[in-house]
Amino acid sequence: MQKLLLATIFILIAGCTTTPSTKLNEVAPKSNNPKESEEIFNVKDYDELSLPAFSTKEFNGRDLKLGKVLERTNLYTRYYITYKSADLTISGIMNLPTGDGPFPVLVLNHGYIDPAIYTNGRGLKREQDYFAKEGYIVIHPDYRNHAESTKVEGYQQDLRLGYTEDVVSAVYAVRESNLEYFDKENIGMLGHSMGGGITQNILVTHPELIKAAVLYGPVSSDTRDNFDKWGRSNPDRGDIILQNHGDFDQAPEFWDNISPINFFDNIKVPVLIQQGTADESTPMKWADKTHRAMLEAGVDVIYNTYKGEPHEFIKMWPQFMSSNLEFFDKILKKQDTEIIEPVDEFRSRINLKEFGTYVTPDSSPVEPERFTGYHTGVDIEYTDVTQDTEVLAITKGKVLYGGRVNGYGGVIILEHELSGQTYSVLYGHLDPRSLTNNSTVEKGERLGVLGAGYTEETDNERKHLHFSIKPGTDTDLRGYVNTSSELKDWINPLELL
Ligand SMILES: [Zn+2]
């Protein structure tokens, strides 16, 4: 406390000699949201270093400043930033999407990197860029003692509550900012490893600060696990923490009160846990435990595991990111990511040609057959249905192609965004006269009706829908390809529907 007071006085004096008005404002800022979450704990004599005490602390995150441009792409610009967390200056980066906004905001909390080697913006670079490309403002705080942030003594001994304060302050600094492109109502958070622990601290102490959280290979929600793995062996940290607070058996209450797992009842927003099964740094049993405890506490939690993935995902990183995006889009952009079936009884009526079925005129489930090759989609059969069969857009999309094509009769190809990926989706054998004239369609909008069997409406095919999904935006009309390697350019529609 004495140290803090001295620092304050020093700033005050320094401030008076330069620009008194602004500097004075900085030493006595108003609190962001005084005691917002006091109600959630029955605060009594908690140790100052405890989650209950942290929840009642006054924060004054403010003064978000954009510094130099670090990188400029077509889709976003990367800035060096600083903001204030109590009397500290915290550095970081911000990726700002191109356009007017407002854009929802994601705060990314990086994992442990030795502050001696850490540099500005390090830790989640791939994720920062990905989310910015997808229309999120990304704020990545460096934390105190990292990069250009203020250095504080004893920062290793606070069991990460100092870093947690810096992240809470980042959110308040966004809320206080006058920059108009922030969608301040929609702020989410992703934390990796130690950053996942910081995120858990925030979820239980400031339940309404953010709207959704991803825990990516998070440290344990029981701080004892983390201390056993990394704290105890580090004499600069472990010995001092044990001297100040006592070991697990001596001070069980202290360790309980610094562990988010004991306060999961407070969590009010959806949580997505993403865990690699081969993570040697933060083992899967920790995520298992966190997930179980969240379920017991009634948290709206999804738990995804990724087979064979280590602490930082490699092979399944694209799937990991599209599931993060789907999760955040649903909550922060209120995007409807569910897709519907293009025709009734979609699955049960796929009974002749599946995805990848190989046909020739001599061997085919249908007679007569005029094609040869691997089937690029699925056929949904309606020979037995005489009334009109409507074909609907599976989600909103853009019309890439619509018209009559040999082998199909009427065809419409739509561009759809599914889980953050772009696909060209072909709906074939429609009555050409029924095709929509719109250039964009909403989910469930009628594209047309199936052509009548063995007429020019279907180019003399059965009454059925040929339905295929190809990543990208090609208007590729092929219903069959010659080799199995060409077939890899399409995906099995049943994987998405
Ligand atoms: Zn087909």
**Model pLDDT for residues 465-489, shown as the tens digit of each residue:** 999 999 999 999 999 999 999 999 9
Q: Which residue has the higher pLDDT, 4 or 185?
A: 185
Cα(312)–Cα(172) distance, rounded to whole angstroms?
Answer: 29
Residue 351 in any domain: the answer is no
Q: Is residue 213 part of a domain?
A: yes
Q: Are residues 441 and 325 both part of a single domain?
A: no
Question: Ligand 1 centre from 417 Cα, in Å?
Answer: 23
Section 325-335 average pLDDT:
90
Cα-to-centroid distance, 379 and ligand 1 (Å): 5
Torsion of CA 350, 472, 490, 303, to 10 degrees: -80
pLDDT range class, residue 338, cuts 50, 70, 90: confident
CA 2 to chain centroid: 42
CA distance 198 to 225: 15
Is residue 401 over pLDDT 80? yes
CATH number, domain with residue 403: 2.70.70.10
Query: What pLDDT score does 345 carry?
Result: 95
Among left, alpha and beta (phi > 0; psi -120 to 50; other), residue 128 is: alpha
Query: Tell me: the pLDDT tens digits for 188-238?
Result: 999 999 999 999 999 999 999 999 999 999 999 999 999 999 999 888 789
Which pLDDT does position 29 carry in this prediction?
45
CA of 381 to the centre of ligand 1 (A): 10
Nearest to 494 by CA among 384, 339, 319: 339
- In this structure, is residue 98 part of a structural domain? yes
Q: Does residue 126 sit in the same domain as residue 235?
A: yes
| CB 107 within 8 Å of CB 198 | no
In angstroms, what is the span from residue 336 Cα to ligand 1's centroid?
Answer: 29
Q: Do the domain assignments include residue 342?
A: no
Q: Cβ-count burial of 438 within 10 angstroms (0-12 exposed, 13-18 middle, 19+ buried)?
A: middle
Does 38 or 423 have the greater pLDDT score? 423
**What pLDDT is attached to residue 318?**
96
352 in any annotated domain: no
Q: Are residues 283 and 404 in the same domain?
A: no
Domain count, the chain: 3
For residue 420, pLDDT beyond 70: no
The DSSP bridge partners found for residue 358 are: 374
**What is the predicted pLDDT for the residue at 400?**
97
Query: Is the backbone of residue 372 left (phi > 0), alpha (psi -120 to 50) or beta?
Result: beta
pLDDT tens digits, one per residue of 32-53: 654 444 455 555 567 889 999 9
- Residue ranges of alpha helices (H) inside 206-299 are 223-226, 238-245, 252-257, 284-296
Co-location of 223 and 187 in the same domain: yes
What's residue 23's pLDDT?
Answer: 31
Whether residue 25 is found in the same domain as residue 123: no
Structural domain contains residue 350: no
318 Cα–ligand 1 center, Å? 29
Least confident of 2-6, 113-117, 248-252, 289-293: 2-6
Task: Give the Å distance between the CA of 430 and the centre of ligand 1.
Answer: 12
Helical residues (DSSP H) of 18-160, grouped into ranges? 20-27, 51-56, 125-133
Same structural domain, 225 and 188: yes
Tokens of 64: 């978000």
Distance 376 CA to ligand 1 centre (A): 7
Residue 391 structural domain: 358-495
Centroid of ligand 1 to alpha carbon of 479 (angstroms): 6
Q: Please tell me whether residues 366 and 419 are part of one structural domain.
A: yes
The verdict on 305 and 415 lying in the same domain is no
* Partners of residue 157 on adjacent β-strands: none
With a threshold of 0.75, does the pTM exceed it?
no
Separation of 322 CA from ligand 1 center, angstroms? 29
Residues 240 and 293 in one domain: yes
Are 128 and 240 found together in one domain? yes
Average pLDDT, stretch 261-265?
97
Q: Are 426 and 473 in contact (CB under 8 A)?
A: no
For residue 44, what pLDDT is reported?
A: 55
Q: Contact 57/47 with Cβ under 8 angstroms?
A: no
Q: Are 93 and 79 in contact (CB under 8 A)?
A: yes
Q: Tell me if 476 sits within 8 A of 470, measured CB to CB.
A: yes
Three-state secondary-structure class, residue 470: strand
Question: Any idea of the CA torsion for 356, 362, 363, 365, to the nearest 10 degrees?
Answer: 90
Can you give the CATH number for the domain in which 86 is found?
Answer: 3.40.50.1820
- Alpha carbon of 443 to ligand 1 centroid (Å): 23
DSSP string, 162-203: HHHHHHHHHHHHHHH---TTEEEEEEEEEEETHHHHHHHHHH
426-443 pLDDT tens trace: 999 999 999 999 999 999
Q: Ligand 1 centre and the CA of 354: distance in Å?
A: 8
Residue 297, C-beta contacts closer than 8 angstroms, at least 6 positions apart? 264, 265, 267
Residue with tokens 């854009």: 103
Average pLDDT over residues 158-186: 96
Round to whole Å and give the CA distance between 415 and 402: 12
Give the Å distance between the CA of 380 and the centre of ligand 1: 8
Determine the distance separating the centroid of ligand 1 and the alpha carbon of 467, expressed in angstroms.
Answer: 7
pLDDT at 307 over 50: yes
CA of 406 to the centre of ligand 1 (A): 13
Q: What percent of the chain is helix, strand and coil (3-state, nearest 5)?
A: 30, 25, 45
Question: How far apart are alpha carbons 218 and 196 in whole angstroms?
Answer: 4
pLDDT digits (tens, 9 = 90+) for 59-82: 999 999 999 999 999 999 999 999
317 domain residue, yes or no: yes
Q: Are residues 264 and 388 in the same domain?
A: no
Q: How far apart are CA 337 and CA 397, in angstroms?
A: 12
Mean pLDDT of 286-294: 98
Tell me, yes or no, whether 240 lies in a domain: yes
Same domain, 193 and 288: yes
First-to-last alpha carbon distance for the chain, in angstroms, is 59
Q: For all residues of the chain together, what is the average pLDDT? A: 90
Q: For 74-112, write each residue's pLDDT tens digit.
A: 999 999 999 999 999 999 999 999 998 899 999 999 999
